[in-house]
Structure 1
């Protein structure tokens, strides 16, 4: 650990008091009826960061009822796209105005570095603005070649009440990949953030009110998956569930929602490879691999948690990634120079370590790291940058989502072999390919089973481009036109022009 780049200095003061997060239902902030709250301790500083109202069936029913009433009376769904866009753009302005406040609480609740939290929270405003543009440009289609006396019109209508359930790793960003698009479509919503990172979502209620969103259109209920998330997934008055989280929970939500046949959109796990061909820009590829595995402490569905590198360059390339890993700044999240912060919980840290330990016992080589990391004055809830070689395809560390700063190395000889290794996974969220030969990149991109393929880059994203996975990485898409369309139902209007219909009944 001595040769790692560890930052202990803190440049930003801790808040004097914990943030008090409350439910936001029908335009008002509310405590739980039974007065229950949950405490969130910072994973990096050991202080009480926030106290959140702990929701029950009572609050969840009230939120769903408010969303149902708001949708059915048309206070939002029947507004013009122009009027909905105006509100969304005001929310974007308020997000940017409160970027530092949002980022600080997210850093303390999640353990991520303040610089990344700023980028996530402030950058989310762009998602709201893009969704606003879709509200104004949404349209259906017409069919006027059905005959002289027929006209067909296809229109798009909001699906109704949407339950949005978000995870702890990117609480404000992932919320902004869903909520503004649902609102742009004219839906009303009930939102449940993770109980570990509830505060930025709770803060959003202030911005919605100030921006002029009508009461009941968006409601926020804080609490645990049971009972809050469970009821949001099964209630008959909910028309759609949009969930981001683990594949295991996503499967349970699909089963729970099936009784009412509501639509379900899932963004789940990944075991994402970056594939390195010998003709790649190896320095750039090594930097992208290092970024891809350590960004957000590896607690990211898009983490490039495995690399598949051509055997001719494997030794040199892995050595370069290991050397770069020594220079990544791990440590105090409240220092802008920190690149990798804390693990979200001690239990999750133990799970990460178990994957590495089991691989080592099975014969894998630990090139760097492989254990917890003590950071002076802020604790031990950190994990060393870890690179693992000598693995076999059946190892859990190769097949399962570790969700930590752990990179697994595999090697290949031919295109067919690397495609087989890439696709030998239950997941299919994203993949990357590095080569200076466009034909190599195109062939890999066409054959790889993943929702996103990055070519000579990693994790570049834009509001215009849809995001989502195949296989057990999920179903449906977020952001972009396709993500917006998830929240719409298609209705066909078939109209006869004039009284030209031939009678079916032959009257005497």
Structure 2
């Protein structure tokens, strides 16, 4: 057995006694139902654990309620110091985190070691610093008779639900701004991928963040997830996942009028104008479409290419797709791992098969590989052309290694097509013309628009969408708007018993 895989399996064994992390300790779930974590590269179960039920959620929320007041009243410097220790500890455990992420997700180890884990460590370091900068408006006299200032206060207990495509990074995106702002959190990771979320929470406790500030309940959405969202003691819900499930989360959250942050689906357009560097655009499209086997809500999924470059672009992308190496995620030479599950692979294949049946052309890919990869959830990088703009494969979120390429003639047409889906999470524009680039960034309706690149994210800048892609921001100082309550405090400066405005009540009485 490969040494890296063997190490990852030993990490998974640590959670055989329970995949719930409540008040600083691992424990089994109370639902009475078990679940297997499956290695998507082999189809083999690597961990069986008891799913969380409503009792586990209640216990985690109670632990968070107990821990939050002390954590929230700590000075910004004290929270910052603990989070700096947290970042350092994550860096020390980077290899284990990378291997566990590769095991449960099927991600190539070069992706987890070069992207997922370093990004999460950097997020932690960023929020360790940002914890000291939760500032409101400086005091001022705006009415003439009063001094006003603004406080930012924690909302209390946060209940967050994270997806399976980036378990470690999504745990970081949910936990870090919440605790930096003084909240306590209950995180529900996807039941398919709990390992690194649990490791992340353990590292928080080991770094000195008080038990109960970071809790993890690993259970099914209809049970643990819905109970967490609807819990009356949870002041805020942050959810990342599909738009369909996001609607359900919003429906439940509104019953208790809690704050809501939704980062939902995407269908990112990749617009290539006729003055673009076609080689750079082709490489950017391949990297942007295939990162994490296409299981990325910001992935490049539909490329619009101006007609003079269209054939050249399609041929270049096809050649690059064909050269991508599928293989064992623990092999450092592997470019593309499996999808998260056989179910997801079949879902992706269904999109491609229906598109083929509707007349679209599969230029390359469009099938699962055989041989030694047949037992895993693999699917070949797939390039599709000749699909109508209104078709399912252009409009729907596939969440797999599939890129659709369509031509356009005018800039007006390109921007109209780019905006012609329900989603608005991310997009990119490829051009050497600063005016074209400026127009694209202004007119494309998305939370992020890259120019001559696609996918890079940084801790200092916000991530989040509009339209059916949700609302609110992850990362950056902007995320504090989700996790803090803004309070206006106003002091009277006159010491006068009867204020001038009192005449609206007392009239002309002396």
TM over 0.5: same fold?
A: yes
2:461 matches 1:469 = no
Whether the aligned pair in 2 keeps the contact of 1:11 and 1:335 (CA below 8 Å) is no
Q: 1:147 to 1:445 in 2, by over 3 A?
A: closer
Are 2:111 and 1:116 aligned?
A: yes
Q: Which moved more, 1:46-55 or 1:164-173?
A: 46-55
Aligned to 1:26: 23
- Give the match for residue 266 of structure 1: 262
Determine which of 78, 82, 104 is the counterpart of 1:83. Answer: 78
In the alignment of these two chains, the number of paired residues is: 498
Distance in 2 of aligned mates of 1:52 and 1:85: 34
Gaps of 5+ in 1: 1-8
- Take 1:52 and 1:403, find their aligned partners in 2: how far apart are those partners? 27
Alignment of 1:128-207 (within 5 A): 128-207=124-203
Determine the C-alpha separation between the residues in 1 that align with 2:49 and 2:248: 25
Is the CA contact (8 Å cut-off) linking 2:427 and 2:450 kept in structure 1?
A: yes
Q: Distance in 2 between matches of 1:202 and 1:85?
A: 22
Of residues 49, 54, 60 in structure 2, which corresponds to 1:52?
Answer: 49
| Cα distance in 1 for residues equivalent to 2:383 and 2:30 | 49
Q: Select between 307-316 and 138-147 the one with higher mean Cα deviation.
A: 138-147
Distance in 1 separating the partners of 2:403 and 2:47 = 33
Name the residue aligned to 2:282: 286
* Paired residues of 2:31 and 2:54 also in contact (CA < 8 A): no
Q: Does 1:415 align with 2:407?
A: no
- Hey, what does 2:205 align to over in structure 1? 209
Give how far 1:197 is off: 0.4
Shift of 1:205: 2.7
- Residue 375 of structure 1: how far off its partner (Å): 4.9
Which of residues 479, 485, 496 in structure 1 aligns to 2:481? 485
- Contact residue 50 and residue 199 of structure 1 kept, 8 A: no
The secondary structure found in structure 2 opposite 1:66 is helix
Task: Give RMSD over aligned pairs.
Answer: 1.7
SS at match of 1:139: coil
| Structure 2 CA distance for partners of 1:377 and 1:428, relative to 1, 3 Å | closer
Please identify runs of 4+ aligned residues in structure 1 that moved more than 6 A: none
Give distance in 2, aligned partners of 1:100 and 1:140: 39
Q: CA deviation at 1:49?
A: 1.9
2:220 paired residue number: 224
Q: Is the 8 A contact 1:156 1:488 kept in 2?
A: yes
Q: Distance in 1 between matches of 2:141 and 2:376?
A: 69
What is the CA–CA distance in structure 2 between the aligned matches of 1:251 and 1:34, rounded to whole Å? 25
Cα shift at 1:95: 0.9
For residues 478 and 105 of structure 1, the distance between their equivalents in structure 2, rounded to whole angstroms, comes to: 24
Q: Give the deviation of 1:45 after TM superposition.
A: 2.1
CA distance in 2, matches of 1:81, 1:115: 36
Q: Which residue number in structure 2 is paired with residue 425 of structure 1?
A: 421
- Aligned-residue offset at 1:484: 2.0
CA offset at residue 220 of structure 1? 0.8
- Residue aligning to 1:376: 372
The answer for the alignment partner of 2:490 in structure 1 is 494
Q: Which runs of 5+ in 2 are unaligned?
A: none
Is contact 1:46–1:378 with CA below 8 Å preserved after alignment?
A: no
1:94 pairs with 2:83: no
Per the alignment, do residues 11 and 364 of structure 1 end up closer, same or farther by CA in structure 2, a change over 3 Å counting?
Answer: farther
Secondary structure in structure 2 of the residue aligned to 1:494: strand
The CA deviation string for residues 272-307 of structure 1, in whole angstroms up to 9 with x for no partner, is: 011001111111111010001111000110110110
CA–CA distance in structure 1, aligned partners of residues 29 and 373 of structure 2? 36
Q: Deviations over 1:305-341 (max 9, x none)?
A: 1100001110111000000111122111111111110
CA contact (8 A) 1:159 1:489 kept: yes
SS at match of 2:107: coil
- Residue of structure 1 equivalent to 2:4: 12
- 35, 38, 47: which one aligns with 1:38: 35
- CA–CA distance in 2 between the matches of 1:360 and 1:377? 24
1:341 to 331, 337, 341: 337
Contact preservation (8 Å) 1:451, 1:468: yes
The answer to whether the 8 A contact 1:40-1:196 is kept is: yes
From the two aligned structures, give the one with the greater helix fraction. Answer: 2
Whether the 8 Å contact between 1:52 and 1:198 is mirrored in structure 2 is no
Q: SS at 2:271's partner residue?
A: strand
CA contact (8 A) 1:243 1:267 kept: yes
SS of alignment partner, residue 266 of structure 1: strand
Aligned to 1:3: none
Check conservation: 2:41, 2:373, Cα contact below 8 A. Answer: no
